[in-house]
Structure 1
Amino acid sequence: MSTVWQAIGAFAVTNIDDLVVLAVFFGQAPGNRGAAWRVVAGCASWVECLARPPQPARRR
């Protein structure tokens, strides 16, 4: 059961870390036109890269 709690704790800490990073990026956005959209697009592309399964190595 302790493994489950460790996994829950790691998941929660990772989400909190993501919120802090996004808060910093969005905090810098008000002075830059279009910066908020770049933050959202970057976050979406990063999540898409993490969710995509690895591709097998190509042979030459």
Structure 2
Amino acid sequence: MVRIIGARGGRPPGFDELRYKKRNTVERAISFLKQSRTVATRYGKRGYVFLGTAIAAAVTIWLRT
């Protein structure tokens, strides 16, 4: 199989620096949330329980910074 690089494949033609910065911020926030064991392993099986756990972890992170 031959891979064609150029107009039909490869990297996207443009790089948006602002979008990349926002993506990095979101990925770091998710990483901070996953440091909480209950968020990372998702012990709460119901959606509202998990949402409450994620909010509690986010508030804890916010208060520490």
TM-score range, shorter chain: 0.3 to 0.5
TM-score normalised by L of structure 1: 0.40
TM-score normalised by L of structure 2: 0.38
Q: Which has the higher helix share?
A: 1
Structure with more contact order per residue of length (Cα contacts < 8 Å, sep ≥ 6): 2
* Structure exhibiting the larger radius of gyration computed from Cα positions: 2
